[in-house]
């Protein structure tokens, strides 16, 4: 047999892997708060962080464990409303406590709606996760207890503070979101490279073989639902508490679920970084499109046209990605980076 | 084929011998089963590791297996051959619990199962490969092989994420064992490649590695050499033999290449249309008229004919 020497490793970057995320975090904590405008925080970074985290959560379930879900927004809503109610009803519970408990509630709901995955696969599973989407939204609108009997169903999120330090301003909320997202993303990264993460991939790639080698398939699937829903639930808290500053069921509709699915498809399935690449595109793209449209077409380009053109371009993008780059923006980025590095090394 | 009345005796033995005892006992009742096929060179006296009793399986109208009796002794390489659709893969699927037989039982180490519990297969010391590649394409070769030890993992996800408790030790242990197997099967050069990117022949070998890493007592190989060149086949054959010798593993091997099978196996069972038409040593099978009619005669036409 011909000896297979690895031909791919020669171009590997020389820097250790942790350098890039550490530099990025240093920049995000040290530089961005100083130079960012409030528009940057309110319109770009906060939704980016919330959706990126939701993408990480969905990627664990769909990208790694191979279980398609259209219920992400339901788990976000569960997280947001649970955190609101814990915060409202439990005396003396610190905000962080409410958030963790909210994640656990979302995780429990995730397990319940993950049960069909023990029998269903692919498309059928996706349809059954729709049940979560509709049920949660229905329950939150139907029972006004969840929104503290407020007449409009729209409630103000509590003021953010950690350890007595108020984080109300745009920068404060940004740092609050950034911290939670960084911690959970780091843990998610550890998870997907652990034995459990490899079990997720094994079940995704070949369920029968996974069962034969003794991976507890049913337990592992439910674990994927639980962990994924926890993360998405916390993303929901960030979305409502830090970004919108209101808690309402409407924002967590099926469109949002699809949006998060698109984030991981465009960004890259089974990639933690991919979720943030995808979220960045999803957040920045409509802003860019509206500027471009306004610039080219002037007044004709109103919000209706924007909304429609946004859907069309996004749909086209997704089809393009599925055909040309099924591994998403991450793969594209890695390829470009490798090229640049090679070019740089050869000069 | 004598569908023996000993079946009743067997039931008693297995009902009264829970797993714990069965391992330790000499299991004399079962030695009568070995007597059904008195040929063979090694370990005639040893209790069989695997016994199939009256296995029947059909899919709709298709009879995949009919009345199959088979016994496999510890340490032997037991080949199953037969034309396409003869029921060979179905047999392995029954042994590994992927299929539940309509009739009959599987005895593993003296314990009787109507359907072998797939989820516990690895704990029972059974590993297998698949006719169609069943690697985890998105994992590296090393991780694929290490996943063969997943059944042993006792740390939970929280411990693994935080790197506390028994998880770091387990991780180190399974990676080092996987590395050993990779070295044993000459796969170290592709250790960090994604399994899905390897050429077919190497993927087959990685699958063998994943099965071997658990050092199973019983190894089921469904056409491990299919689609390989002659030299790859003989290399694979030597790996199978080496694995048997090194880990004292018992091997059940499905293979179409009669030349390879004759050289490699201790005993051969021949299936045709779901029935066992012969079960003997390679030499006897080679000269069996029914086998020649049903399979060998045909095989030289549609196989590459090497070694026949
Ligand atoms: N899951 C299944 N559903 C329906 N029919 C099946 C199934 N598995 C096997 N069969 C049928 O059972 C018969 C035996 O199939 P099996 O795969 O066991 O044959 P085989 O000896 O392994 O053949 P090959 O050499 O082609 O691999 C065939 O007729 C096949 O079509
Ligand atoms: Mg077969």
User: Which tens digits make up the pLDDT trace of A183-235?
Assistant: 999 999 999 999 999 999 999 999 999 999 999 999 999 999 999 999 999 99
A72-89 vs A122-142: helix crossing angle, rounded to 10: 30
Q: CB of B85 closer than 6 A to ligand 1? A: yes
Q: How far is B74 from chain A (nearest CA, A)?
A: 21
Among A55-69, A303-317, B97-111, which is the least confidently predicted range? A303-317
With 90 as the cut, is the pLDDT of residue B292 above it?
Answer: no
Confidence of residue B245 (pLDDT cuts 50, 70, 90): very high
Q: What confidence tier does B31 reach under pLDDT thresholds 50, 70, 90?
A: very low
Relative to beta strand B103-108, strand B111-113 is: antiparallel
To the nearest 10 degrees (0 to 180), the angle between helices A46-58 and A72-89 is: 120
Look at residue A36 and give its three-state secondary structure: coil
Other C-beta atoms closer than 10 Å to the C-beta of B197 total 13
Residue A1, pLDDT > 80, answer no
Closest by Cα among A24, A74, A78, A67 to A49: A24
Q: How much is the pLDDT for A172? A: 94
In 10 A of CB A307, how many CB atoms? 12
Tell me the mean pLDDT in the region B40-67: 83
Average pLDDT over residues B168-193: 95
Cα(A233)–Cα(A54) distance, integer angstroms = 8
Q: What is the value of ipTM here, to two decimals? A: 0.86
Kindly compute the dihedral angle of the four CA atoms of residues A242, A247, A253, A259, in this order, to the nearest 10 degrees. 0
How far, in whole angstroms, is CA B242 from its chain's centroid? 15
Task: Please give the Cα distance from B276 to B271 (Å, whole number).
Answer: 4
* pLDDT above 70 (res A304): yes
Residues on chain A touching B119 (C-beta within 8 angstroms): 211, 214, 216-217
Q: How far apart are the first and last CA of chain B?
A: 27
How far apart, in whole angstroms, are the C-alpha atoms of residue B29 and residue B41? 21
Residues A289 and A273: their CA atoms lie apart, in Å, by 24
Whole-angstrom Cα distance, residue A180 to residue A67? 25
Whether residue B9 is predicted with pLDDT greater than 80 in this model: the reply is no
Of A191, A208, A215, the CB nearest to B161: A191
- The Å distance, Cα B91 to ligand 1 centre, comes to 9
pLDDT at A153: 65
Site to substitute for ligand 1 among B82, B89, B277, B302, most atoms within 8 A of C-beta: B89
Between A239 and A19, the more confident residue is: A239
Please name which of A263, A254, A252, A192 lies closest in space to residue A223, comparing C-alpha atoms.
A192
The b/e string for B268-299 (b: 16+ C-beta within 10 A; e otherwise) is: bbbbbbbbbbbbbebeebeebeebeebbbeeb
CA distances from B111 to B15, B47, B115 (A): 8, 12, 11
Kindly state the helix (H) or strand (E) to which residue B277 belongs, with its residue range: strand B275-280
In the predicted structure, residue A80 carries a pLDDT above the cut 60: yes
Tell me if B138 and A204 make a contact (CB, 8 A cut-off): yes
Distance B218 CA to ligand 2 centre (A): 19
Query: What does the pLDDT look like over A23-45, one tens digit per residue?
Result: 999 999 999 999 999 999 999 99
Q: Are residues A187 and B161, on separate chains, in Cβ contact within 8 Å?
A: yes
Q: Is the CB of B90 under 6 A from ligand 1?
A: yes
The DSSP code for B106 is E
At residue A14, the pLDDT reads 63
What is the Cα–Cα distance from B285 to B301, expressed in whole angstroms? 18
The pLDDT of B204-229, averaged and rounded, is 95
What is the pLDDT confidence band of residue B195, given thresholds at 50, 70 and 90?
very high
What's the pLDDT tens digit per position in B139-154? 999 999 999 999 999 9
Question: Does A4 have pLDDT greater than 50?
Answer: no
Q: Is the pLDDT of residue B122 over 90?
A: yes
The larger pLDDT score, comparing residue A326 to residue A207, is at A207
Query: What's the rounded mean pLDDT across residues B55-72?
Result: 95
Q: What is the pLDDT of residue B15?
A: 32
Q: Please determine, for residue A9, whether its predicted confidence score (pLDDT) is greater than 60.
A: no
Whether A331 has a pLDDT exceeding 50, the answer reads yes
What is the CATH number that goes with domain A2-346? 1.10.3470
Gap from CA of A216 to ligand 1 centroid (Å): 27
Mean predicted confidence (pLDDT) in A80-109: 94
Report the C-alpha gap between A185 and B15 in whole angstroms.
Answer: 52
Angle between helices A95-114 and A217-237 (to 10 degrees): 140
* Residue B163 binned pLDDT confidence (cut-offs 50, 70, 90): very high
Ligand nearest to the CA of residue B82, numbered in listed order: 1
Chain B CB contacts of A227 under 8 Å are 157
Three-state SS for B222? strand
Per-residue model confidence (pLDDT) at position B95:
97
Q: What is the mean pLDDT of chain A?
A: 90
Task: Provide, as residue numbers in chain A, all residues whose Cβ is less than 8 Å from the Cβ of B210.
Answer: 213
pTM: 0.87
Closest-lying ligand to the alpha carbon of B80? 1
Which residues touch A246 (CB under 8 Å, ≥6 apart)? A154, A155, A156, A157, A240
Sheet with B275-280: strands ordered across: B126-128, B218-222, B250-254, B77-81, B267-272, B275-280
- In whole angstroms, how far apart are CA A243 and each of A19, A27, A73, A137, A152? 29, 21, 15, 20, 20
Higher pLDDT, A215 or A297: A215
Per-residue model confidence (pLDDT) at position A314: 86
Neighbours of A291 (CB within 10 A): 11
| B186 φψ region: left (φ > 0), alpha (ψ -120 to 50), beta (else) | left
Q: What pLDDT band is residue A3 in, cutting at 50, 70 and 90? A: very low
User: Residue A61 in contact with residue A67, Cβ under 8 Å?
Assistant: yes
- Least confident window among A169-173, A288-292, B155-159: A288-292
Q: What is the spatial distance between Cα A128 and Cα B268, in angstroms, rounded to a whole number?
A: 49
A32 C-beta neighbours (distance < 10 Å), count: 16
Task: Give Cα separations from B186 to B153, B191, B199, B216 (angstroms).
Answer: 26, 10, 15, 20
- Residues contacting residue A193 through CB under 8 Å, at least 6 positions apart: none
Alpha-carbon gap, residue B64 to B61, rounded angstroms: 9
Residues B252-283: tens digit of each pLDDT: 999 988 889 999 999 999 999 999 999 999 99
Give the phi and the psi of residue A184 in degrees, each rounded to 5. Answer: -65, -35
In whole angstroms, what is the distance from residue B133 CA to residue B130 CA?
6
- C-alpha angle A51-A57-A58 in degrees, rounded to nearest 5: 90
Q: Which of A194, A204, A213 sits opposite B147 (nearest CB)?
A: A213
* pLDDT 10s digits, A147-159: 888 777 678 888 8
First-last CA distance in chain A: 37
Please give the radius of gyration of chain B, using alpha carbons only, rounded to the nearest integer.
Answer: 20
Residue B43 gets the label, from left (phi > 0), alpha (psi -120 to 50) or beta, of left
Does pLDDT of B8 surpass 50? no
- pLDDT computed for residue A8 by the predictor: 44
Flag whether pLDDT at B46 surpasses 90: no
What's residue A302's pLDDT?
Answer: 78
pLDDT at B37: 40
Q: B48 CA to chain A: closest CA distance, Å?
A: 22
- Rounded to the nearest integer, the mean pLDDT of chain B is 84
**What residue in B sits closest to A192 (Cα-Cα)?**
B161
Which phi and psi (to 5°) does residue B257 adopt? -75, 105
Nearest residue, CB atoms, B123 vs list A202, A214, A217: A214
- Closest-CA distance of chain B to residue A207, Å: 9
pLDDT at position B250 is: 96
CA distance linking residue B106 with residue B119, whole number of Å: 16
Identify the residue whose C-alpha is closest to ligand 1 atom 25.
B84
Select from A190, A202, A212 the Cβ nearest to the Cβ of B118: A212
Confidence of residue B24 (pLDDT cuts 50, 70, 90): very low
Maximum CA extent, chain B: 64
In this structure, the dihedral spanned by the alpha carbons of residues B262, B265, B267 and B268, taken in order and rounded to 10 degrees, is -60
């Amino acid at each position: 047999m011909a000896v297979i020497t690895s031909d791919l490793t020669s171009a590997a970057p020389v820097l250790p892997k942790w350098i890039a995320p550490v530099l990025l975090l240093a920049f995000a904590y040290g530089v961005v708060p100083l130079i960012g405008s409030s528009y940057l925080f309110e319109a770009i970074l906060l939704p980016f962080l919330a959706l990126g985290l939701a993408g990480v959560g969905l990627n664990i379930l769909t990208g790694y464990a191979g279980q398609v879900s259209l219920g992400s927004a339901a788990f976000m809503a569960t997280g947001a409303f649970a955190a609101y109610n814990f915060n409202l009803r439990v005396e003396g519970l610190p905000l962080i406590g409410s958030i963790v408990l909210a994640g656990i509630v979302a995780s429990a709901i995730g397990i319940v709606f993950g049960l069909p995955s023990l029998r269903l696969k692919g498309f059928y599973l996706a349809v059954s996760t729709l049940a979560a989407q509709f049920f949660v939204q229905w329950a939150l609108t139907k029972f006004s207890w969840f929104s503290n009997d407020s007449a409009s169903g729209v409630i103000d999120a509590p003021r953010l503070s950690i350890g007595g330090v108020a984080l109300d301003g745009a920068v404060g909320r940004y740092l609050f979101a950034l911290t939670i997202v960084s911690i959970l993303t780091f843990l998610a990264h550890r998870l997907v490279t652990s034995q459990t993460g490899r079990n997720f991939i094994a079940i995704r790639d070949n369920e029968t073989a996974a069962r034969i080698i003794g991976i507890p398939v049913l337990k592992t699937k439910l674990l994927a639902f639980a962990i994924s829903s926890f993360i998405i639930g916390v993303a929901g808290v960030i979305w409502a508490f830090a970004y919108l500053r209101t808690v309402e069921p409407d924002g967590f509709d099926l469109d949002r679920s699809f949006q998060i699915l698109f984030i991981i498809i465009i960004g890259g399935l089974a990639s933690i970084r991919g979720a943030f690449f995808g979220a960045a595109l999803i957040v920045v793209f409509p802003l860019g499109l509206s500027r471009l449209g306004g610039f080219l077409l002037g007044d004709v380009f109103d919000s209706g046209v924007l909304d429609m053109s946004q859907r069309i371009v996004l749909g086209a993008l997704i089809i393009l990605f599925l055909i040309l780059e099924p591994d998403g923006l991450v793969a594209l980025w890695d390829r470009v980076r490798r090229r640049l590095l090679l070019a740089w090394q050869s000069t | 084929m004598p569908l023996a009345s000993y079946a009743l005796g067997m039931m008693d033995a297995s009902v009264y011998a829970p797993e714990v005892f069965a391992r330790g006992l000499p299991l004399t009742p079962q030695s009568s089963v070995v007597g059904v096929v008195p040929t063979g060179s090694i370990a005639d006296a040893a209790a069989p590791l695997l016994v199939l009793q009256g296995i029947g399986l059909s899919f709709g109208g298709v009879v995949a297996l009919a009345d199959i009796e088979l016994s496999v002794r510890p340490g032997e390489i037991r080949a199953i051959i037969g034309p396409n659709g003869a029921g060979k893969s179905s047999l392995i699927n029954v042994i590994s619990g992927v299929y539940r037989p309509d009739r009959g039982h599987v005895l593993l180490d003296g314990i009787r199962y109507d359907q072998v519990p797939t989820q516990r297969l690895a704990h029972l010391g059974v590993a297998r490969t698949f006719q169609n590649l069943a690697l985890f394409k998105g994992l590296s070769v090393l991780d694929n092989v290490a996943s063969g030890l997943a059944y042993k993992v006792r740390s939970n996800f929280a411990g693994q994420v935080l790197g506390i408790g028994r998880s770091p030790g387990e991780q180190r242990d399974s990676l080092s064992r996987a590395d050993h197997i990779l070295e044993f099967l000459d796969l170290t050069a592709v250790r960090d490649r994604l399994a899905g990117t390897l050429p077919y022949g190497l993927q087959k070998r990685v699958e063998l590695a994943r099965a071997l890493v658990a050092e199973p007592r019983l190894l089921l190989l469904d056409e491990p050499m299919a689609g390989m060149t002659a030299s790859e086949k003989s290399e694979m054959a030597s790996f199978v033999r080496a694995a048997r010798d090194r880990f004292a593993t018992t091997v059940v091997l499905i293979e179409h290449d009669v030349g390879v099978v004759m050289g490699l196996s201790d005993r051969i069972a021949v299936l045709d249309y779901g029935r066992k038409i012969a079960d003997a040593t390679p030499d006897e099978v080679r000269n069996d008229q029914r086998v020649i009619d049903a399979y060998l005669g045909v095989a030289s036409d549609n196989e590459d004919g090497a070694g026949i």
